[in-house]
Amino acid sequence: MTDIHLLTAQTQGDRKRLLQNLKNQKKDFRLELIIFAAIWLVAPFLTNRPNQKPLIESMSYGMALLFFGLIFLIPLSITYFKKVHKAVLGLQTDLKRVIVTQVTDKAKNPLFRKDEYCLKLADDYLCKLYFPKHNFDQFEIGEMLRIEVSESGKQVIKITKATEKIIERLTKKAPDYSFSQKQPYKSVLFGKETEEKTSFLSFFSFLIPSKHNFISAIILDINILVFVAMLISGVNIYKPLVIDIVNWGGNVRALTVNQGEYWRLLTNVFVHVGIIHLLMNAIGFIFVSAFVEQILGKRWFLFLYVFTGLWASLTSVWWHDNVVSAGASGAIFGLYGFFLALLVLVKKKDREVNSGMIASVLIFVGYNLIMGLAGNIDNAAHIGGLISGFISGSVLTLFGVPSRGKKNNAQQSIAKSGADNASIKLTEDIQLK
């Protein structure tokens, strides 16, 4: 049969769905922008490392910034155009298009969209739609679908199966809309006319405690404040001395165990060995905490972070004899271990839905453990945190997750940033007190 296209006015519910879609796309883009900015700051470290040979000798500081900027500006631009730009277009007018068309084919893991599934449609206007697997399985080849999309931007508002009655009613229905004035692009993007106002500070919302990231924001703020205090006291921003790390609470068996300074098991989790170490840990923490805190709630998330951080520290002092260890990545690995348990220890059908997320977590863990073999990285703390987190997740999966909401199976990529728990070997000229 011939596809049906009907132009009509958006309802208030439609506007809310489109607005929520824009919020989600802007939030995801902000996270990618943060990663870009963080990695951009690494450029001076590569080209001008104090008292060390530059990793990229032929590049000046300015050229390195330009080089990294061009590399990461391309994927950022593509992400903005495909997601944020189209979401903005969907809200620029008050019209939507109701389409009735047939599913002609289904494709799993299409190219460049390995975490999504594709429905191919007979309609030339839409052609394809992408879904997570649990939605994808609802539709079969040959079925007729009633699809509502924004008149501009092709943002999907609603999809239902089209019965004969629905098709007959839409065939007889006349277009129902009045003239719609197009809203200015900037007004929609920055929320001046859509109830969602965006300011410069919103790009740093992960640092501001809110309903969804209350504890994680506080933990991240503490790490940053401790590092700033270290810099004010004279600690080197790139390569602190071993004695500086010890004085600020680094974990070392000679003090932690032999002299009974057990508080170091916790304090070292908030101490970082240079700006690069802090940035990499922050990126890894932001992504996993966005899921885990919503799953557990405030109190249990705080308990898990401290618990896995302590186990990571205990593993480090048990394994290493004369090594100072500092950094949050033991606790961060604990969060990833916990999250991995929740994703894996489920029914086969649910595990298939989580496959993209599971792959991302395993890549993160595997990459960092392999990098730890290169030296100066405390793999003992990584493994201790990972195992304690996985065991915690396994126990809570069996006996029920103390969550305030349902488990999030969102198919979003977790950052594959390196959360290195740095370890520094003590030298003979340093006397421990």
List active site positions: 329, 382
Cα–Cα dist 11/200, whole Å: 31
CB 10 within 8 A of CB 95: yes
* Cβ atoms 296, 401 nearer than 8 A: yes
DSSP 206: G
Q: What is the dihedral of CA 195, 199, 205, 207, to 10 degrees?
A: -150
Q: Exposed/middle/buried for 250, CB within 10 Å: 0-12, 13-18, 19+?
A: buried
Phi, psi of 204 (to 5 degrees): -115, 30
CA 41/CA 312 separation, integer angstroms: 28
Neighbours of 276 (CB within 10 A): 23
Contacts of residue 382, Cβ cutoff 8 Å, sequence gap at least 6: 312, 329, 330, 333, 368, 369, 372, 421
Which token pair is 390? 């996985």
Helix, strand or coil for residue 431? coil
Q: Which helix (H) or strand (E) holds 9?
A: strand 4-9
> What is the DSSP secondary structure assignment for residue 400, as one 8-state letter?
-
Residue whose tokens read 């999030």: 408
Please name every residue paired with 9 in a beta bridge, in sequence order, or none if there are none: 95
Neighbouring CB atoms inside 10 A of 279's CB total 21
With CA atoms as reference, report the closest residue to 342 among 361, 329, 328.
361
